[in-house]
Amino acid sequence: QKEVEQDPGPLSVPEGAIVSLNCTYSNSAFQYFMWYRQYSRKGPELLMYTYSSGNKEDGRFTAQVDKSSKYISLFIRDSQPSDSATYLCAMSAQGGSEKLVFGKGTKLTVNP
Amino acid sequence: ETGVTQSPTHLIKTRGQQVTLRCSSQSGHNTVSWYQQALGQGPQFIFQYYREEENGRGNFPPRFSGLQFPNYSSELNVNALELDDSALYLCASSLDRGVGDTQYFGPGTRLTVL
């Protein structure tokens, strides 16, 4: 079993839709949870960073962590064509600056 | 303030050759990590350098080696290249090794091994 599982999609939605992206993990030592966005031919860019369980909101983006279920989610409200990218979940046992374990990434396309 | 930069952008090598990839950290950052991202996969941690010392290594063989210099720039060296080494190599820098800190990624070097 891989440490982090993420459905690679692809996911295609109309503009304005609510998008839900998810990851599950097996390592209970993970305490720090991140979502990165990666545009084609670019490096990953940090979107959201959360510690332990709970919700965090930033504009149109909401990150949720449920440590009891080993499940994390990213919600994108009012999706825009500019949100079209690959979304990677990442986790760490020791902090955001330490070794990150990534999911495979979910490729999202938002159609105008 | 400049972000993380990597060179070269693309590289083509043949099996058995050696390659050196370079990374300049974001200004003031003393920690650099290297990741390998195969096509259609998430990045995989290779190793991390903190203040010129290796600080953690992923599941990669010894032919993957690195260096961090006093100005905190970094190199990734891969010897005896194999076809499976074809991937995007990402460098990420952090301000320091702190629990609240995050990693900033460069655009990557795409390596093709023929």
B106 pLDDT more than 80:
yes
Over residues B22-81, the pLDDT tens digits come to: 999 988 888 999 999 999 999 999 999 998 999 899 999 999 999 999 988 999 999 999
> In the structure, what pLDDT confidence band is assigned to residue A51 with cuts at 50, 70 and 90?
confident
Task: Tell me if A62 sits within 8 A of A78, measured CB to CB.
Answer: no
Q: Is B65 helix (H, G, I), strand (E, B) or coil?
A: strand
Residues A80-102 have a mean pLDDT of 92
The per-residue pLDDT for B102 is 85
Residues A9-37 have a mean pLDDT of 95
Task: Tell me if A103 sits within 8 A of A7, measured CB to CB.
Answer: no
Residues A43-47 have a mean pLDDT of 94
Best mutation site among A21, A97, A101, A106 for testing chain B: the one with the most B CBs within 10 Å? A97
Helices (H), A16-108: none
Q: Which residue of chain B comes nearest to A95, CA vs CA?
A: B99
The per-residue pLDDT for A75 is 97
Give A1 or A32, the one with higher predicted confidence: A32
> Which of A44-58, A70-84, B95-109 shows the lowest per-residue confidence on average (mean pLDDT)?
B95-109
Give A90 or A53, the one with higher predicted confidence: A90
The per-residue pLDDT for B98 is 66
Residues pairing with B66 in the sheet: B76
Nearest neighbour of A97 by CB, restricted to B43, B102, B106: B102
User: From the CA of A72, how many Å to the nearest CA of chain B?
Assistant: 16
Q: Does B106 touch chain A (CB under 8 A)?
A: yes
User: From the CA of B61, how many Å to the nearest CA of chain A?
Assistant: 17
B90 contacts on A by Cβ (under 8 Å)? 43-44
The per-residue pLDDT for A65 is 96
Residues A49-66 have a mean pLDDT of 93
| Residues sharing a CB contact under 8 Å with residue A27, sequence separation 6 or more, in sequence order | A3, A91, A93, A101
The per-residue pLDDT for B101 is 74
Interface of A with B (CB under 8 A): 4, 6, 8, 32, 34, 36, 41-46, 49, 51, 88, 90, 94-105
What phi and psi values does residue B103 have, to the nearest 5 degrees?
Answer: -105, 140
Which pair of structure tokens corresponds to residue B87? 């991937």
